[in-house]
Amino acid sequence: MDQGVIARRQVSMNVLVTGASGFIGAALVSRLDNKGHRVVPLRRAATAGNEAGPTWNPQAGQIHLEPAGQLDAVVHLAGENMAQRWTPTAKARIRVVHLRLGIVLARHSGALAKMLPAFRLGLGGRLGTGRQYWSWIALEDLLRVVERALQDDHLSGPVNAVSPTAVTNTEFTAALSRALRRPALLPVPALAVKLNFAEMGREALLASARVRPARLAECGFEFLFPKLDEAFNHLLTRPIQTS
């Protein structure tokens, strides 16, 4: 899962975004900018160079916000990439989650993009038993969740940003296979997943997470892609729209 913390205020906003150059952050910045919001990226001091703008140094506990001016909201997406071996050093970099994300589906980035080459060659298959549940969300719906959180005072605290229909890994594999019209006949044994991905494989790929978006349902949020087949058909047959 990726990580996010949201603070929010009114309709037309000045929004500070961390992780603005990442997979989700770049899509969110484009969407907010197209909606008329002023987006200010918060860059890490070590990578900011001579660029003007606010910076932070999380290791030193320092932040320099004056160049950002008055802010109405903050979207914090600068978490650690979970799709890596969870070495002690990597685990020390992973944060507390307020916006709880499932597997974010997008064609050109994230987990789905890493799966597509093998599945397009007919080399995909379930992981382990395939009975473990995966909670997921289409990128476009995730961006709409963030927008809703920025504007709706009734949506606060921990929020599960996942679709209402979690699926097993076997169901996920079958749906992707149908969308690509390719067979998926090569299961990956659990031992191979553990050897290649260590703790991340055990806890993220083989563990079961059947999460419900209860808070979003209470607020009347309507998903554009509540079902996996719909999400895959949209992502794999049309250009991605993030505005």
Q: What domains are defined for the chain?
A: 5-237 (3.40.50.720)
State residue 56's pLDDT score: 78
State residue 77's pLDDT score: 85
Q: What share of the chain is helix, strand, coil (3-state, %, to 5)?
A: 40, 20, 45
For residue 146, give the amino acid letter: V
Mean pLDDT of the chain: 82
DSSP per residue, 94-106 = ----SEEE-EEE-
Count CA within 13 A, CB hemisphere, residue 66.
2
What pTM was computed for the model?
0.76
**Residues near 154 by beta carbon (within 8 Å), at least 6 away in sequence:** 219
- Consecutive sets of 10 residues in the chain, 243 residues long: mean pLDDT of each? 49 86 90 91 70 75 82 79 61 57 88 90 92 95 92 83 96 96 91 80 81 92 96 80 44
State residue 28's pLDDT score: 93
Q: Can you list the pairs that 237-242 forms with residues at least 24 positions away whose Cβ atoms lie under 8 Å?
A: 237/179, 240/106, 240/107, 240/108, 240/139, 240/140, 241/140, 242/27, 242/30, 242/31, 242/139, 242/140, 242/143
pLDDT digit string, tens, across residues 19-46: 888 889 999 999 999 999 999 988 877 6
3-state secondary structure 35-77: CCCEEEEEEEHHHHCCCCCCEEECCCCEEECHHHCCCCEEEEC
> How many CB atoms sit inside 10 A of residue 133's CB?
16
For residues 32 and 26, is the Cβ–Cβ distance under 8 A?
no
Tokens describing residue 50 = 């001579």
State residue 7's pLDDT score: 53
